[in-house]
A = this chain, B = another copy of it.
Amino acid sequence: MDNKPLTKAASSATRVWHLQDIKRALRDVDVLAAMADAFISYSAGKAVVPPVGELLFEEPPGDAHIKYGYVRGDRWFVIKVATGFYRNPQRGLPSNSGLMLVFDAATGTPHAVLLDQGYLTNIRTAAAGAFAAKLLAPDKVSCIGIIGSGVQARLQLQMLTHITCCRKVRIYARDSEKARRYAREMSAQGYAVRVEKSPAAVAAAANLIVTTTAACEPLLFADDIKPGTHITAVGSDTPPKNEIDPGVLNKAAIVAVDSLPQSAARGEVFHAVDAGAIAAGSIVELGTLALQAQKARLSDRQITIADLTGVATQDIEICKAVLARLAPDTAREPSNGY
């Protein structure tokens, strides 16, 4: 009895969606548009986003982060849980997991549970990188540089196909075997990928660079970066992490972040301000740039940087967009009055 969907539905109107449902729905979602909404509503002050909840574990080391909030006037509010346990791969599990919860903002009733296993967080993070590149990358992307060889190294590159036709890629990863595997995989997907021996060699070839590592020591320095290069840094999401030397930010014409309050405590900008390389007042939010123009870069000589730490409105908007695709289905669900 309990395993029959009807019984389940009768016991609660909360819809539960699984990863394959979510992946199917995502095919029809414009994730870059969702990220534009996310950053603009955030920077325009239309979102209610409390501080991120954090739960830390010692043995094995891990963390859970709770990002939640709503956009004023929305029908839903969203609570996203993201976990990271970095010894999981040793037991054949992905490091990251999580889920998203959607509640009715008028009644507090749980509307949907998206059991995405962290997939939507990966996608929205990659889409945010592409959105930043859309605003800041040079008009002519000659070569894409990727630092790192993990999930984001793959997804960021794939998402960039939305904003550039460039398929020429240079990659550096500390683990050369992982770098070669990355090259094989991405080449099979139609990219011309070459493995480089250093981040500097990547920067020498590329004018659109995405750093996706968990490094705590800078990988890119001012002298490495060519004029006209845009760098998106997505790896640094906690205070100790640092991928880019403050000297690079000092040299940049535009330093953009997803959230000014968050960048004051973590990310590349935090380290650069801490080092006195840039003034906190010179930093701008992506949402503010997007409100001003489709393209924020002013010349093909400028160095620009987008430093992303992740904000709840990204989770809210991708959740809303996926739910809108899944919604027609909801009509077929028996209701218990909720």
Contacts and interface: CB of A to CB of B under 8 A. Distances in A.
Interface of A: 2-3, 5, 7-8, 11-12, 14, 16, 18-21, 48, 50, 53-57, 60, 62-64, 66, 68-70, 77, 79, 81, 83-85, 88, 91-93, 96-99, 101, 103, 105-110, 113, 115, 117, 337-338
B79 A108 contact: no
Contact of A103 (B64, B68, B110, B115): B64
A55 B115 CA distance: 22
Contacts of A69: 55
B107 A93 contact: yes
Contact of A5 (B3, B105, B113, B337): B3
B85 A106 contact: yes
A16 B19 contact: no
Contacts of A107: 62, 83, 85, 88, 91, 93, 97
Contacts of A14: 99, 115
A330 to B, nearest CB: 13
Contacts of A77: 55, 57, 64
A258 to B, nearest CB: 20
Contacts of A109: 83, 93, 97
Nearest to A333: B3
A57 B105 contact: yes
Contact of A99 (B57, B88, B110): B110
A108 B92 contact: no
A108 B56 CA distance: 11
Contacts of A2: 18, 20-21
19 contacts: A7-B18, A8-B18, A11-B21, A12-B115, A16-B113, A50-B53, A50-B55, A55-B68, A63-B108, A66-B68, A79-B81, A81-B110, A85-B108, A92-B337, A93-B109, A93-B337, A97-B110, A98-B108, A110-B115
Contacts of A50: 53-55
Nearest to A64: B108
Given A12-B19, A101-B81, A60 B91 contact: no
A-B residue pairs, 5 tightest by C-beta: A83-B108, A11-B18, A85-B108, A12-B115, A3-B5
Given A8-B18, A96-B108, A113-B115, 19 more contacts: A2-B21, A11-B19, A16-B16, A50-B53, A50-B54, A53-B53, A55-B70, A57-B77, A57-B105, A64-B77, A64-B79, A64-B103, A66-B79, A83-B109, A85-B108, A88-B108, A93-B337, A97-B107, A110-B115
